[in-house]
Protein backbone atom coordinates (compact mmCIF):
# COMPACT_ATOMS: atom_id res chain seq x y z
CA UNK A 1 0.00 0.00 0.00
CA UNK A 2 1.20 3.51 -0.63
CA UNK A 3 -0.16 6.76 0.63
CA UNK A 4 -0.29 9.91 -1.49
CA UNK A 5 -1.53 13.42 -1.08
CA UNK A 6 -3.23 14.49 -4.28
CA UNK A 7 -5.30 17.58 -4.93
CA UNK A 8 -8.04 17.85 -7.53
CA UNK A 9 -8.72 14.14 -7.34
CA UNK A 10 -12.32 13.14 -6.69
CA UNK A 11 -12.95 9.44 -7.14
CA UNK A 12 -16.72 9.75 -6.93
CA UNK A 13 -16.78 12.27 -9.75
CA UNK A 14 -14.37 10.26 -11.88
CA UNK A 15 -16.45 7.11 -11.36
CA UNK A 16 -19.50 8.98 -12.58
CA UNK A 17 -17.88 11.08 -15.27
CA UNK A 18 -18.78 8.69 -18.07
CA UNK A 19 -15.24 8.26 -19.34
CA UNK A 20 -14.64 4.88 -17.69
CA UNK A 21 -17.08 2.06 -17.04
CA UNK A 22 -15.22 -0.34 -14.78
CA UNK A 23 -14.75 1.88 -11.75
CA UNK A 24 -17.10 1.26 -8.83
CA UNK A 25 -17.69 2.79 -5.43
CA UNK A 26 -17.48 0.12 -2.71
CA UNK A 27 -18.33 2.29 0.28
CA UNK A 28 -18.20 5.93 1.25
CA UNK A 29 -14.44 6.24 0.91
CA UNK A 30 -13.41 3.21 -1.11
CA UNK A 31 -13.34 2.70 -4.85
CA UNK A 32 -12.10 -0.05 -7.13
CA UNK A 33 -11.25 -0.37 -10.76
CA UNK A 34 -9.78 -2.83 -13.22
CA UNK A 35 -7.43 -1.59 -15.92
CA UNK A 36 -4.32 -2.84 -17.67
CA UNK A 37 -5.13 -6.30 -16.35
CA UNK A 38 -4.81 -5.13 -12.76
CA UNK A 39 -7.33 -4.77 -10.00
CA UNK A 40 -6.87 -1.68 -7.82
CA UNK A 41 -8.50 -0.51 -4.63
CA UNK A 42 -8.18 3.12 -3.57
CA UNK A 43 -9.24 4.56 -0.25
CA UNK A 44 -9.77 8.27 0.23
CA UNK A 45 -8.83 8.42 3.91
CA UNK A 46 -9.41 12.12 4.39
CA UNK A 47 -9.37 15.31 2.35
CA UNK A 48 -6.80 14.76 -0.36
CA UNK A 49 -5.01 11.78 1.14
CA UNK A 50 -5.34 8.50 -0.73
CA UNK A 51 -4.23 4.96 -0.07
CA UNK A 52 -3.44 2.95 -3.18
CA UNK A 53 -3.45 -0.77 -2.45
CA UNK A 54 -0.62 -1.74 -4.75
CA UNK A 55 3.17 -1.74 -4.85
CA UNK A 56 5.12 1.43 -5.41
CA UNK A 57 6.37 0.04 -8.72
CA UNK A 58 2.82 -0.58 -9.90
CA UNK A 59 1.77 2.89 -8.79
CA UNK A 60 4.62 4.52 -10.66
CA UNK A 61 4.37 2.38 -13.77
CA UNK A 62 0.63 2.21 -14.17
CA UNK A 63 -1.60 4.36 -11.99
CA UNK A 64 0.34 7.61 -11.91
CA UNK A 65 -0.11 8.05 -15.62
CA UNK A 66 -3.55 6.40 -15.70
CA UNK A 67 -4.95 9.04 -13.35
CA UNK A 68 -3.03 11.87 -15.02
CA UNK A 69 -1.45 12.81 -11.71
CA UNK A 70 1.28 15.01 -13.18
CA UNK A 71 -1.19 17.61 -14.46
CA UNK A 72 -2.12 20.69 -12.46
CA UNK A 73 -5.89 20.90 -12.82
CA UNK A 74 -6.29 23.95 -10.62
CA UNK A 75 -4.14 25.89 -13.02
CA UNK A 76 -6.52 24.94 -15.83
CA UNK A 77 -9.58 25.88 -13.80
CA UNK A 78 -8.01 29.20 -12.88
CA UNK A 79 -7.34 29.98 -16.52
CA UNK A 80 -11.06 29.96 -17.36
CA UNK A 81 -12.00 33.59 -17.96
CA UNK A 82 -14.25 35.22 -15.34
CA UNK A 83 -16.56 36.30 -18.14
CA UNK A 84 -17.49 32.71 -18.89
CA UNK A 85 -19.96 32.36 -16.06
CA UNK A 86 -21.22 28.98 -17.11
CA UNK A 87 -17.79 27.34 -17.31
CA UNK A 88 -16.82 28.86 -13.98
CA UNK A 89 -19.87 27.16 -12.51
CA UNK A 90 -19.30 23.87 -14.33
CA UNK A 91 -15.62 23.70 -13.39
CA UNK A 92 -16.45 24.39 -9.76
CA UNK A 93 -18.93 21.50 -9.79
CA UNK A 94 -16.63 19.18 -11.73
CA UNK A 95 -13.41 20.02 -9.92
CA UNK A 96 -11.68 16.74 -9.09
CA UNK A 97 -12.34 15.03 -12.41
CA UNK A 98 -9.19 13.99 -14.22
CA UNK A 99 -8.84 12.73 -17.76
CA UNK A 100 -7.83 9.08 -17.50
CA UNK A 101 -5.33 7.52 -19.82
CA UNK A 102 -6.94 4.19 -20.61
CA UNK A 103 -5.97 1.34 -22.89
CA UNK A 104 -6.81 2.11 -26.53
CA UNK A 105 -8.36 -1.29 -27.24
CA UNK A 106 -10.65 -1.29 -24.21
CA UNK A 107 -11.63 2.34 -24.82
CA UNK A 108 -12.40 1.73 -28.48
CA UNK A 109 -14.72 -1.20 -27.74
CA UNK A 110 -16.31 0.53 -24.75
CA UNK A 111 -17.29 3.58 -26.77
CA UNK A 112 -18.57 1.52 -29.71
CA UNK A 113 -20.86 -0.10 -27.15
CA UNK A 114 -21.83 3.27 -25.69
CA UNK A 115 -23.84 4.47 -28.65
CA UNK A 116 -27.58 4.73 -27.91
CA UNK A 117 -27.07 3.25 -24.46
CA UNK A 118 -27.33 4.71 -20.97
CA UNK A 119 -24.32 4.52 -18.70
CA UNK A 120 -25.67 1.69 -16.48
CA UNK A 121 -26.45 -0.30 -19.62
CA UNK A 122 -22.90 0.25 -20.92
CA UNK A 123 -21.50 -1.00 -17.62
CA UNK A 124 -23.62 -4.15 -17.82
CA UNK A 125 -22.41 -4.97 -21.32
CA UNK A 126 -18.75 -4.40 -20.51
CA UNK A 127 -18.97 -6.39 -17.31
CA UNK A 128 -20.42 -9.37 -19.16
CA UNK A 129 -17.79 -9.05 -21.87
CA UNK A 130 -15.03 -9.21 -19.27
CA UNK A 131 -16.60 -11.97 -17.19
CA UNK A 132 -17.27 -14.13 -20.24
CA UNK A 133 -14.11 -13.64 -22.25
CA UNK A 134 -11.45 -11.92 -20.15
CA UNK A 135 -8.55 -13.55 -18.34
CA UNK A 136 -9.07 -13.98 -14.64
CA UNK A 137 -7.01 -11.68 -12.42
CA UNK A 138 -8.23 -12.75 -9.01
CA UNK A 139 -11.52 -13.85 -7.44
CA UNK A 140 -14.28 -12.57 -9.65
CA UNK A 141 -12.10 -9.96 -11.34
CA UNK A 142 -11.47 -10.27 -15.03
CA UNK A 143 -9.30 -8.33 -17.43
CA UNK A 144 -10.78 -6.75 -20.53
CA UNK A 145 -10.74 -9.42 -23.27
CA UNK A 146 -8.25 -8.96 -26.09
CA UNK A 147 -9.08 -8.66 -29.78
CA UNK A 148 -8.13 -12.22 -30.67
CA UNK A 149 -10.50 -13.79 -28.15
CA UNK A 150 -13.39 -11.57 -29.21
CA UNK A 151 -12.73 -12.19 -32.90
CA UNK A 152 -13.12 -15.93 -32.30
CA UNK A 153 -16.63 -15.66 -30.87
CA UNK A 154 -19.82 -16.20 -32.81
CA UNK A 155 -22.43 -13.47 -33.10
CA UNK A 156 -24.75 -15.50 -30.91
CA UNK A 157 -22.15 -15.81 -28.16
CA UNK A 158 -21.36 -12.11 -28.18
CA UNK A 159 -25.07 -11.30 -28.04
CA UNK A 160 -25.17 -12.65 -24.50
CA UNK A 161 -23.45 -9.40 -23.54
CA UNK A 162 -26.49 -7.39 -24.63
CA UNK A 163 -24.61 -5.62 -27.39
CA UNK A 164 -27.61 -5.40 -29.71
CA UNK A 165 -26.83 -4.17 -33.20
CA UNK A 166 -23.30 -3.30 -32.07
CA UNK A 167 -22.31 -7.00 -32.07
CA UNK A 168 -21.30 -6.87 -35.68
CA UNK A 169 -19.28 -3.69 -35.22
CA UNK A 170 -17.37 -5.33 -32.40
CA UNK A 171 -16.79 -8.57 -34.24
CA UNK A 172 -15.44 -6.76 -37.31
CA UNK A 173 -13.34 -4.37 -35.26
CA UNK A 174 -11.90 -7.30 -33.31
CA UNK A 175 -10.98 -9.04 -36.54
CA UNK A 176 -9.25 -5.94 -37.89
CA UNK A 177 -7.15 -5.61 -34.76
CA UNK A 178 -6.49 -9.36 -34.40
CA UNK A 179 -5.34 -9.46 -38.03
CA UNK A 180 -3.14 -6.48 -37.32
CA UNK A 181 -4.74 -4.36 -40.06
CA UNK A 182 -4.53 -1.47 -37.62
CA UNK A 183 -2.10 -1.60 -34.70
CA UNK A 184 -3.63 0.57 -32.00
CA UNK A 185 -0.40 0.91 -30.06
CA UNK A 186 1.42 2.30 -33.07
CA UNK A 187 -1.06 5.11 -33.64
CA UNK A 188 0.34 7.23 -30.82
CA UNK A 189 2.69 9.09 -33.10
CA UNK A 190 -0.08 10.30 -35.42
CA UNK A 191 -1.34 13.84 -35.05
CA UNK A 192 -4.92 14.38 -33.90
CA UNK A 193 -6.51 14.65 -37.33
CA UNK A 194 -4.74 11.60 -38.73
CA UNK A 195 -5.52 9.59 -35.60
CA UNK A 196 -9.20 10.54 -35.77
CA UNK A 197 -9.39 9.51 -39.38
CA UNK A 198 -7.64 6.22 -38.71
CA UNK A 199 -9.98 5.31 -35.85
CA UNK A 200 -13.00 6.07 -38.00
CA UNK A 201 -11.93 3.26 -40.33
CA UNK A 202 -13.35 0.85 -37.75
CA UNK A 203 -17.01 -0.06 -38.29
CA UNK A 204 -19.28 1.59 -35.74
CA UNK A 205 -16.83 4.40 -35.11
CA UNK A 206 -17.96 7.87 -36.11
CA UNK A 207 -16.71 11.31 -35.02
CA UNK A 208 -18.08 11.12 -31.48
CA UNK A 209 -16.69 7.70 -30.60
CA UNK A 210 -13.36 8.47 -32.29
CA UNK A 211 -13.01 11.70 -30.31
CA UNK A 212 -13.71 9.84 -27.06
CA UNK A 213 -10.92 7.40 -27.86
CA UNK A 214 -8.60 10.30 -28.68
CA UNK A 215 -9.33 11.93 -25.36
CA UNK A 216 -9.67 9.01 -22.95
CA UNK A 217 -7.07 6.61 -24.40
CA UNK A 218 -4.54 8.60 -26.41
CA UNK A 219 -4.83 11.45 -23.95
CA UNK A 220 -5.30 14.11 -26.59
CA UNK A 221 -6.49 16.87 -24.30
CA UNK A 222 -7.43 18.98 -27.33
CA UNK A 223 -10.17 16.51 -28.40
CA UNK A 224 -13.74 17.68 -27.82
CA UNK A 225 -16.30 14.89 -28.23
CA UNK A 226 -19.79 16.27 -28.81
CA UNK A 227 -22.63 14.07 -27.61
CA UNK A 228 -26.26 14.90 -26.92
CA UNK A 229 -25.42 16.38 -23.50
CA UNK A 230 -22.68 18.65 -24.79
CA UNK A 231 -24.84 19.85 -27.65
CA UNK A 232 -27.60 20.68 -25.15
CA UNK A 233 -25.06 22.76 -23.22
CA UNK A 234 -23.74 24.48 -26.33
CA UNK A 235 -27.29 25.36 -27.32
CA UNK A 236 -28.68 26.44 -23.95
CA UNK A 237 -25.63 28.15 -22.46
CA UNK A 238 -23.88 29.50 -25.54
CA UNK A 239 -26.67 29.82 -28.09
CA UNK A 240 -24.59 27.55 -30.33
CA UNK A 241 -21.83 30.16 -30.38
CA UNK A 242 -19.23 28.50 -28.20
CA UNK A 243 -15.72 29.55 -29.19
CA UNK A 244 -13.79 26.29 -28.96
CA UNK A 245 -10.62 27.95 -30.23
CA UNK A 246 -10.33 29.83 -27.01
CA UNK A 247 -10.11 26.58 -25.06
CA UNK A 248 -8.21 24.68 -27.72
CA UNK A 249 -5.40 23.41 -25.48
CA UNK A 250 -7.67 22.07 -22.74
CA UNK A 251 -10.86 21.38 -24.69
CA UNK A 252 -11.18 17.81 -23.44
CA UNK A 253 -11.06 18.85 -19.82
CA UNK A 254 -13.55 21.63 -20.43
CA UNK A 255 -15.78 19.05 -22.12
CA UNK A 256 -15.71 16.87 -19.00
CA UNK A 257 -16.82 19.75 -16.80
CA UNK A 258 -19.67 20.52 -19.20
CA UNK A 259 -20.72 16.89 -19.32
CA UNK A 260 -20.60 16.47 -15.58
CA UNK A 261 -22.65 19.63 -15.10
CA UNK A 262 -25.28 18.46 -17.56
CA UNK A 263 -25.49 15.07 -15.87
CA UNK A 264 -25.89 16.55 -12.40
CA UNK A 265 -28.05 19.61 -12.79
CA UNK A 266 -31.84 19.42 -12.65
CA UNK A 267 -32.32 21.80 -15.55
CA UNK A 268 -30.74 19.25 -17.88
CA UNK A 269 -32.78 16.24 -16.83
CA UNK A 270 -34.66 14.78 -19.73
CA UNK A 271 -37.91 16.62 -20.21
CA UNK A 272 -41.00 14.49 -20.21
CA UNK A 273 -43.68 15.35 -22.69
CA UNK A 274 -47.06 15.01 -21.06
Partner DNA sequence: AAGCAGGGGACGT
Partner DNA sequence: ACGTCCCCTGCT
Residue 137 Cβ vs DNA, minimum distance, rounded to whole Å: 23
Q: How far is CA 218 from CA 7, 130, 149, 215, 274, in A?
A: 23, 22, 23, 6, 43
Beta carbon of residue 1, minimum distance to DNA (angstroms, whole number) = 29
Q: Using the rule CB under 7 A, is 222 a contact of DNA? A: no
- Of residues 1 and 244, the one with the C-beta less far from DNA: 244
For the segment 105-144, give every residue that binds DNA (CB under 7 A). Answer: 114-121, 124-125
207 near DNA, judged by CB under 7 A:
yes
Gap between the terminal Cα atoms of the chain? 54
164 lines the binding site for DNA (CB under 7 A): yes
The only residue of 8, 15, 17, 109 in contact with DNA, by rule CB under 7 A? 17
Helical (H) or strand (E) element with 190: none
* Per-position b or e across 128-143, b if 16+ CB within 10 A of its CB: ebbebbbeeeeeebbb
For residue 176, with 0-12 CB atoms within 10 Å meaning exposed, 13-18 middle and 19 or more buried, which class applies?
Answer: middle
How far apart CA 160 and CA 167 sit, in angstroms, is 10
Least distance (Å) from DNA to the CB of residue 242?
15
Task: Examine residue 165 and tell whether it contacts DNA (CB under 7 A).
Answer: yes
Shorter beta-carbon distance to DNA: residue 179 or 201:
201
Is residue 210 near DNA by the rule CB under 7 A? yes
Instruction: Determine if 273 is a binding residue for DNA (CB under 7 A).
Output: yes
Cα 115 to chain centroid, rounded: 14
3-state secondary structure of 32: strand
* List of residues contacting DNA (CB under 7 A): 17-19, 114-121, 124-125, 159, 162-165, 169, 200, 203-210, 212, 225, 227-230, 255, 259, 270, 272-273
Amino acid sequence: MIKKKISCFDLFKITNSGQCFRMYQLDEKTFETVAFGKHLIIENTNDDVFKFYCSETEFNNTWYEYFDLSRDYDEIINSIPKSDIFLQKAAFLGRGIRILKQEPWETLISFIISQRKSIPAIRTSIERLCNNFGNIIENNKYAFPDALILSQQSEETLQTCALGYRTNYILKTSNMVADNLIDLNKLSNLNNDALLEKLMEFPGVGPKVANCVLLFAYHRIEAFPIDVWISRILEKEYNNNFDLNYYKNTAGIIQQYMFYYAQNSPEYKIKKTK
